[in-house]
Structure formats: C-alpha cells, structure tokens
Chain A
Amino acid sequence: MSALELNDITCTFISRDDPSARYTAVRNASLAVGEGEFVSVVGPTGCGKSTLLNVAAGLLMPSSGECKVFGSALEGVNTRAGYLFQTESLMPWRTALANVIAGLEFRGMSRAEAAPKGEAWLARVGLAGFGERYPHQLSGGQRKRVALAQCLIMDPKIILMDEPFSALDVQTRQLMENELLELWAADRKSVLFITHDLEEAIALSDRVIVLSAGPETHPIGEFPIDLPRPRDVSEVRLTPRFLELHEKIWHAMKEEVLKGYQQQLKA
C-alpha cells in the first residue's frame, strides 16, 4: 500500500475577474509515494507542481480525481502529513521555540510539557539556544531549520516539501539537504519533494517524477534513482552514475522546459 496516492487529479481554476475563463493547471495526473520512499517531482517553473502538493496536503480540493492517504480517501486537511513551504511560514509573533511547539499546542499539549520536546528538536536541527529568538532575528537558513523542526516534531508519516530550500544560498542549501537526508534516514518517512532543480532531485530521492510544462500538467516520466545511500549531496553529484542519470532525465525534461519557457515569454 502506498503512503500517498494521487489518482487522476485534475485542477481547473476559475478566473476571479472573468468567471467564464478557465485555467487547468493539472490534468489527469497520477502519482504515488510508497512507505518510506523519497520521491521528487521536477518540472519547469510555473507548471503546477505546487498545485499537486496542495492537493496532497488537503489544502486544495481537486476538480476531479482523488487523493488517498494510506489507502483511505483524504477529506479536509491531511493530518498525517507535514508541509514545508517555499516561502516564510513561521508565525512572526512567536519565538522559535513557540513556533516549533505550535503544532503540539494545537493538539492540546500544555506548554510545560511541549517545551522540552521543542528544545530537543531545536537542538536536532542545530539551533540549541536559539529558542527565545523571534523569526526576524534569525537568518533565512535558521528560519528554514525552525520550520523543519516545527514540521518534524509532529512526527508526520508523510512530509510534503515545496521547494523548501530554493531561497537559500548554495552552501546553506547543501548543508540543509544533507541534514534533511540524515533526519529522513533516522525514521524513513514518506517524502514528496517538489523542486525545479534536477540535481537536487536526483541527489535526494529514490525516484524522480518529471512533469510536463503547464497548463494541463501531468507526469511524463519516472526514473528510479539507484545511487547508494547514505549519500552526501555535494559528493554524489560528482559520481559517474549521477551524471548518467542526470543526462537521461534531462533529456526527457528538456523539451518541456523549453515549452514552459516559451509559454512564459508569451504570457
């Protein structure tokens, strides 16, 4: 049984200004993430990757198709999934620690009980002693770490990630990717990772799914990544097998990327 299954998803948006105008971001898209599997979805910019992820999170109702979580149909917000957003998602009025334990508090855990757990998670993402800082007092990378701890403290069975590291500089990004792999290896959650960066996708995943250019995005190819684990994201990029895979997937993607680029020029 798959941890997460998207069957034949179609998402059509109605324009707010002109109710007769339609935009189909995703059409007949199906994909599945196995238990403990790390799956990346790559596609050209603006192709509706985030739309798919929001469907999996239960934040967006698809026009048709269904989303299954551990075999049962998803209704409302996906409570068994954690979500790492592309942009700032921390509550700026809460300290780092209060942000990390926010989910536990929403569940009804008292602050006194949740605080030590929060401290432990802050330490695990390398931010011990930063608990009293507010988000604006942290760097972009530190904020991402807090968001990661905030998500993982809930012990979700599935993690959804929407280009979480795209705003970081290259060095910080590789550090975060390695840490993510380490945390993931510790208790093998199912991950659906969205990115436009093919190298990142290959370096992290067990499987890479390539999407077509939007509109009406759908998967056009699936590539198992057989690189040995544990991996170091900066080293694995230099292995011949990595380059082989990169070439193969890039070959499949290239046409779509060009198509997407042309559409962006037109728009």
Chain B
Amino acid sequence: MWKRIKPNRNNVRIYQAVLVVLLLAVWYFGTNPNIPAIYFDSPDKAPFFFGEPVKVAQRLWDWFYGGEIYAHLWVTLEETMLAFAIGTVSGLAVGLWLGLAPTWAEILDPFIKGANAMPRVILAPIFMVWFGLGVGSKVALGVTLVFFIVFFNVYQGVREVSPVVLANARMLGASQKQLLRSVYLPSAMSWVFASLHNAVGLAFVGAVVGEYLGSASGVGYLIHQAEGVFDINTVFAGIVLLTIFAIVLDWIVGIIEKRLMVWQPRAGETERM
C-alpha cells in the first residue's frame, strides 16, 4: 500500500493538492468561531487575527464578480511589468558595459556596492516626492530592486565567458560588435534567466510596497485601506491575489526561459522504460 502512495514523480501534483487542502482545512477549522478556541481565550479572536478562508474567498469573488478589483489589479500589474522591464533592460545594458570595461567597473565598484547595500525601501518616500503618488514612484522603487539583481548576474556572466570560445570566435573573424551579440550576450543569458525569477518577485515587492506607503489605487492600496479598519479578510484576500499573480508571472518567465535556453543540457535527459 505505502509503496503505491509513496511520493514519486507521478503523484507530485496529487501531493501538492493534498497539501493545499490540508492548509485550508487547518485555516478553516482553526478560525471557525463555532469551534471552541484552543489557544485564544475566546473563539472570536482567531478569526480576528487570521481571517476566515470562506470570507476571504467571498471577498475575492465579490472583487472579481463586482468588477471592483480589475482597475486596482491592472495598476499593480502595470507597475510590476514596467519595473521588471526597465530594471532588466538597464541591468543587462550596464552589466554588459561594465563586464566589458574593467577599468570603469573598478571606478564604479564602491558606488554600485553602496547603492546595492542601501535599504531601497527608504527611497520610496523620496520617489513619491519626485514622481508623485501615481505609477511612476512605484516603478522607480521596483527598478531599484530589479536592476541590481540583473546587473550583478549579467556582470558575472560576461566575466565568466569561456576564454576559449571567445578566442575561437575572434579567430573566425568576429568583430567587437559580433562578439557582443554572438558570444557575450548568449553566454550571459543563462545568468540573466537565473536572476529573472528573483527579479519578478522583487518587481512585485516594489509595486506593492510603493502602493502601501502612499497611493490611490492598486492592490497594495486596497490592503492598506483594509488594514486601517481591521478588515483582516480583505488583507488576506489581497495577499492571496498577489501571490497567485506572482506565481503566474514567474511561470511565464519559466516558459520563456525554456524556449530560449534549449541549448542548455538538462539533467536526466534519458527516459526510464
């Protein structure tokens, strides 16, 4: 019996589903006001602190059915995508440049390390003064988070280009520009994609934290509003929504990665009969 239900490659999805159900069940029964409290002195306290899954689902349903959420969700996604795109492209460009210009890399090294070490969230109020309460300030915050992740990976990727592959391309007559396109960029891409999974999450963090600190729309704004009136169910609904969209974005990055990285060897390419 155990042999058949033991975790293996074929029942991964089933185990994942079971875990979700378990999690929801613990949440549901732990916060149900009709069930005597285990930890708190009154059965009403658990739902106050942790919300109730049914009400959270109800809230999500109302949001989508009533249509209230779309505008907010769109704002948050727009901020995330813009921060992601701008941060990635600029990280890629600066990473390539400094990777190929070691003298400049040396000159700028302490500044980059300093900027990266600085807690970026404290910049949010400054960005709000500079770019206003709209989309701009959130994008700026997201960019500062995404940029460094991508930059450091590209920089490393460029410096780790195989010297033999590089010499070979030069012997085959590649110009500096062709080297950049045909050797440095593809070689750095595997590092870029490794960083993009982190970058998607951080772009979301930038957008939501920005909204949380000051805005008039967005999912972060909704969460902040709900928190102000102790509406814990709405807060959880917002968190669930953000999590789902972060996973979806990460999944899209994964698909693009698979498309572009067909040349990479994958572990275990043999099939067991």
Q: How distant is B14 from chain A, measured CB to nearest CB, in Å?
A: 33
B58 within 8 A of A: no
Q: A18 vs B165: C-alpha distance in the bound complex, in angstroms?
A: 28
Extra inter-chain contacts (10) besides given A90-B168, A134-B262, A150-B168, CB under 8 Å: A77-B171, A88-B162, A91-B165, A92-B264, A93-B186, A102-B174, A106-B173, A135-B263, A136-B265, A150-B172
Complex Cα gap A147–B172 (Å): 11
B256 CB to closest chain A CB (Å) equals 15
Interface residues of B in 146-187 (CB under 8 A from A): 162, 164-165, 167-175, 178, 182-183, 186-187
> In the complex, which residues of chain A have a beta carbon less than 8 angstroms from the beta carbon of B173?
77, 79, 103, 106-107, 154
Q: Which secondary structure characterizes the binding site on chain A?
A: loop
The interface bits of chain A over 190-220 (1 if a CB of B lies within 8 angstroms of the residue's CB, else 0) are 0000000000000000000000000000000
Q: Is the CB of A89 within 8 A of B170?
A: no
Beta-carbon contact of B167 and A106 below 8 Å: no
- Chain B residues within 8 Å of A, Cβ to Cβ: 162, 164-165, 167-175, 178, 182-183, 186-187, 189, 262-265
Contact status of A91 and B171, CB under 8 A, knowing A85-B164, A106-B178, A134-B262:
no
Interface presence of A83 (CB below 8 A): yes
Q: What A residues does B165 contact at CB under 8 A?
A: 88-92
Contact of A85 with B178 in the complex, beta carbons under 8 Å: no
A83 engages B186 (CB within 8 Å): no
Is A175 interfacial (CB-CB < 8 Å)? no
A94 within 8 A of partner (CB): yes
Residues in B whose Cβ lies below 8 Å from that of A90: 165, 168
Given A91-B165, A93-B187; A103-B263 close (CB under 8 Å)? no
User: Chain A nearest CB: distance from B168 CB in Å?
Assistant: 4
**Which of the residues B169, B182, B189, B263 comes within 8 Å of A134, measured between beta carbons?**
B263
Q: Is A258 on the interface with B (CB-CB < 8 A)?
A: no
Q: How far is the CA of A190 from the CA of B171 in the complex (A)?
A: 16
Contact partner of A83 (CB less than 8 A), chosen from B171, B183, B189, B264, is B171
Docked CA distance A59–B169 (Å): 11
User: Which of A83, A94, A135 has most chain B Cβ within 10 Å?
Assistant: A83
By the criterion CB–CB under 8 Å, are A57 and B171 in contact? yes
* Chain A: CB-nearest residue to B183: A91
**A47-75 CB contacts (< 8 Å) to partner B:** 57, 59
CB-CB under 8 A from A82, the residues of chain B are: 171
A residues near B (Cβ < 8 Å) are 57, 59, 77-79, 81-83, 85, 87-95, 102-103, 106-107, 134-137, 147, 150, 154
Chain A residue, CB-CB nearest to B189:
A93
Contact partners of A150 in chain B: CB under 8 A: 168, 172
In this complex, what residue of B is CB-closest to A153?
Answer: B172
Of B164, B174, B182, B186, which contacts A89 at CB under 8 A? B164
Kindly report which residue of chain B lies nearest to residue A78, judged by CB atoms.
B171
With A57-B171, A59-B167, A81-B171 as contacts: A91 and B265 at CB distance below 8 Å: no
Contacts of A89 in B (CB 8 A): 164-165, 167-168
A147 to B167, CA, bound (A): 13
A–B complex contacts, Cβ < 8 Å, 6 sampled = A59-B171, A91-B186, A102-B169, A106-B169, A106-B182, A134-B262
Within the complex, the shortest CB–CB distance from B21 to chain A, in Å, comes to 41
Q: Whose C-beta in chain A lies nearest to the C-beta of B262?
A: A134
A83 and B187 contact, CB distance less than 8 A:
no
Closest CB-CB distance, B265 to chain A, in whole Å?
4
From residue B41, how far is it (CB to closest CB) to chain A in Å?
A: 63
Kindly list chain B residues whose C-beta atoms are within 8 Å of the C-beta of A147.
Answer: 168
B-chain residues with CB within 8 Å of residue A103 when the two chains form the complex: 172-173
Known: A89-B164, A90-B165. A106 touches B172 (CB 8 A): yes
Residues of B contacting A59 in the complex (Cβ-Cβ under 8 angstroms):
167, 170-171
Collect the chain A residues with CB atoms within 8 Å of residue B162's CB: 88
Min distance, Cβ B185 to any Cβ of chain A, angstroms: 9
Instruction: Give the docked Cα–Cα distance between A6 and B174 (Å).
Output: 25
Q: Chain A residues near B264: list those with CB within 8 A.
A: 92, 136
* Nearest-neighbor residue (CB-CB) of A134 within chain B: B263
In the complex formed, the residue of A with least CB distance to B178 is A106
B174 surroundings in chain A (CB, below 8 A): 102, 106
Closest 7 pairs (CB-CB, A-B): A103-B172, A89-B168, A136-B265, A93-B186, A83-B171, A93-B263, A134-B263
Contacts of A83 in B (CB 8 A): 167-168, 171
* Cα A154 to Cα B164 with chains together (Å): 18
Contact across chains for B164 and A136 when beta carbons are under 8 A apart: no
Please, which residues of chain A bring their CB within 8 A of the CB of B175?
Answer: 106
Set of chain B residues within 8 Å of A92, measured between Cβ atoms: 165, 263-264
Residues of B within 8 A of A154 (CB): 172-173
Chain B min CB distance to A128 (Å): 21
Separation of A92 and B173 alpha carbons in the complex (Å): 18
Contacts of B263 on A, CB cut-off 8 Å? 92-95, 134-136
